[in-house]
Amino acid sequence: MAKQIRYLDRNPEPMLEPKERVKTFREYALGYSVSLAVDEAKRCLYCKDAHLRCIKACPVNVDIPGFIKKIAEGDLIGAYRKIVEADPFPSICGRVCPQERQCEGACILYYDTVKGRRNKGLPVSIGALEKFVGDVIRLIGYIEEEKAPSTGKRVALVGAGPASLSCAYDLARWGHEVHVYEALPKAGGVMIYGIPSARLDRSIVDWEVERLKRLGVIFHFGYVIGRTKSLKALLEEYDAVFLGVGAGRGNIGFKGEHLKGVYSAIEVLTRVNLLHAKDFPDKGVPINLGKKTVVVGGGFTAIDCAITALRLGVEVHVVYRRTRETSSAKDEEWDHIMEEGAIIHWLTQPIEIIGDEKGRVVGLKCIKMTLGEPDSSGRPRPVPIEGSEFVIECDSVIFAIGQRANPIAYEGIEGLRLTKWGTVEVDENFYTGVKGLFAGGDVVNGGDTVVRAISHGRKAAKAIHEYLTQEVKT
Ligand code: FAD
């Protein structure tokens, strides 16, 4: 029998075949079976210095070898409890975190972060294992979570994205009365209006919201803070307020942006995910991307637009001014969309959207780029190649080039400091400097990851708890 090389022997997560998955908004990553999960868990070396490796690389510092060992021992409830000490939403993070840039990128089988050298193996599939644990617990029911007696303090959280949801989780368990005010009719933020259900099934987010409700969190939907109710009123009514409104304003800003067929990513994703354009004509309102669309961008949002447009039966081209290695999307997701038929134009910068006499999009003029000196982010700066302009004929263009903060909730608040991008300034405790007002997630960092928003939410919860309990003592 051939000798098993465990460090190379990573168990791939079963997937729907590309030709099947492109027809459906059902999740395509099918998850580990029990035997695959236990086998994968046994690949972990349970490094004694994991706090310098995978744990350190995780923005919420999950005890990764700790929970993986529990899986190998068959103690899934123990594994779940270990994860939620740091990350309240394992089923979500297991699905959406860019693990190859975080925990898996620092797995010793693959990369020795202490010695700074590449090893020969493939990392333990930490994300798929986290997802497995979260899914098993979700499917067997609810695990009772401890809750402290009431402190008598009331906190309002604005927005129901991962930053607020994680903040709500801790504050509710610590005995505070938590009220979440959300503009949309559902909780989840980008996890429900942005990320397609093909990557994150909505039942998972709904289950986490139910879990929070069981902890006593009260949700108020359809509240646009700054319109329906003011932030000032919340600050007067509650003992503390957390601002977790994200950065959900779409960006375009290109010549030809007025043409019919030009969309921001957020518009497309919201119309498909929340307004059910994908279910049209049975339900919802349609979205017209024509026969061929060009998605501009190279992050999560661009991938999600490609996934969505492919499932609507549209030919998809993606235009990105950098390379695959320097993109912020998950590496495997580029493979997934290419397997599904997307055509990627690396090192390509759009210059102008071209329209016909009726004002409809007929093409996107682009220029080829080459890599130059590193920019302020340390990534090589893309530089245009003179004379390399070309046109991609298309019926629509979707701009997935980052979101901006939407200040409706907090404009005009005296003493609130904003950055030049309109995001909210906070100190290391996520305190804004306005009495009782804390903030975290994308509204602070302008757009990052779900797990970073969770980390902000939990750190802010700790600071809010201290703020409230110190007030109780005095
Ligand atoms: P959000 O998730 O944006 O939630 C903010 C909430 O506040 C929203 O529900 C909004 O309706 C509400 N709100 C806004 N203004 C008001 C107001 N005035 N009153 C009341 N409510 C208000 N990250 C990953 O880690 N993995 C991924 O795969 C991934 N994919 C992404 C795909 C897309 C399309 C996008 C846009 C982002 C993606 N990200 C991903 C980034 C990640 O989703 C965000 O960093 C994260 O959701 C930020 O969380 P948040 O709670 O700060 O804000």
Which atom belonging to ligand 1 lies closest to the Cα atom of 162? 51
Q: Average of pLDDT values for 119-127? A: 94
Q: 4 in a domain, yes or no? A: no
State the total domains in the chain: 3
127 CB-contact burial (10 Å; exposed 0-12 / middle 13-18 / buried 19+):
buried
The verdict on 416 and 389 lying in the same domain is no
| 145 located within any domain | no
Q: How much is the average pLDDT of 378-402?
A: 93
Whether pLDDT at 12 is above 90: yes
Residue 402 scores a pLDDT above 60: yes
Amino acid at 356: D
Same domain, 365 and 276: yes
Q: What is the pLDDT of residue 5?
A: 67
Instruction: Give the mean model confidence (pLDDT) for residues 377-391.
Output: 91
> Which domain covers residue 370, as residue numbers?
250-403
Q: What confidence score (pLDDT) does residue 474 get? A: 42
Residues 413 and 398 grouped into a single domain: no
Residue 192 CB-half CA count within 13 A: 24
Determine the pLDDT at residue 328.
Answer: 82
Is 90 exceeded by the pLDDT of residue 391? yes
Please provide the average confidence, as pLDDT, over all residues in the chain. 93
CB 447, CB 427: distance < 8 Å? no
Report the C-alpha gap between 139 and 145 in whole angstroms: 17
The enclosing H or E element of 219 equals: strand 218-221
Residue of the CA atom closest to atom 12 of ligand 1: 159
Q: Is residue 125 part of a domain?
A: yes
pLDDT for position 307: 97
Nearest CA to ligand 1 atom 53: 246
The conformation of residue 13, written as its DSSP 8-state character, comes to P
How far does residue 307's CA lie from ligand 1's centre (Å)?
A: 18
At 4 the pLDDT is: 58
> Is residue 9 one of the residues assigned to a domain?
no
Pocket of ligand 1 (CB under 6 A): 96-97, 158-164, 181-184, 189-190, 194-195, 223-226, 244-246, 248, 269, 300-301, 304, 403, 406, 408-409, 441-443, 447-451, 453
Residue 455: CB partners within 8 Å, gap ≥ 6? 59, 60, 166
Mean pLDDT over residues 436-446, rounded?
96
> What pLDDT digit, counting tens, does each position of 161-213 carry?
999 999 999 999 999 999 999 999 999 999 999 999 999 999 999 999 999 99
Both 35 and 162 in one domain: the answer is no
* More reliable by pLDDT, 159 or 333: 159
Please tell me the distance between residue 49's alpha carbon and the centre of ligand 1 in angstroms: 34
Contacts (Cβ under 8 Å, ≥6 apart) of 231: 158, 225, 241, 243, 409, 410, 413, 437
**Amino acid 90: pLDDT:** 98
In a domain, residue 6? The reply is: no
Whether residue 149 lies inside any domain: the answer is no
d(C-alpha 112, C-alpha 106), whole Å: 7
Check whether 15 has a pLDDT greater than 60. yes
Same domain, yes or no: 433 and 461: yes
pLDDT of residue 340: 96
For residue 120, the model assigns a pLDDT of 87
Q: Is residue 147 part of a domain?
A: no
| 258 plus 204 within the same structural domain | no
Q: Give the whole-number percent of the chain exceeding pLDDT 90.
A: 83
Question: What is the predicted pLDDT for the residue at 299?
Answer: 92
280 C-beta neighbours (distance < 10 Å), count: 15
Question: What is the distance between the alpha carbons of residues 305 and 286, in angstroms, rounded to a whole number?
Answer: 16
Atom 30, ligand 1: which residue's CA is nearest? Answer: 300
Q: Do 80 and 104 fall within a single domain?
A: yes
Q: In what order do the strands lie in the sheet with 218-221?
A: 218-221, 177-182, 154-158, 240-243, 437-439
The reply to whether 241 and 276 lie within a common domain is no
For the domain that residue 279 is a member of, what is the CATH number? Answer: 3.50.50.60
Give the pLDDT confidence of 408-419 residue by residue, as tens digits.
Answer: 999 999 999 999
Q: Considering the entire predicted model, what is its pTM?
A: 0.94
Mean predicted confidence (pLDDT) in 324-328: 85
Based on the fold, state whether residues 262 and 396 are members of the same structural domain. yes
Instruction: Give the mutation target among 96, 165, 169, 190 for probing the ligand 1 site: most ligand atoms within 8 A of CB.
Output: 190
Residue 433, pLDDT score: 96
pLDDT at 248: 82
Do 90 and 34 belong to one domain? yes
pLDDT at residue 252 is higher than 80: no
Distance 162 CA to ligand 1 centre (A): 7
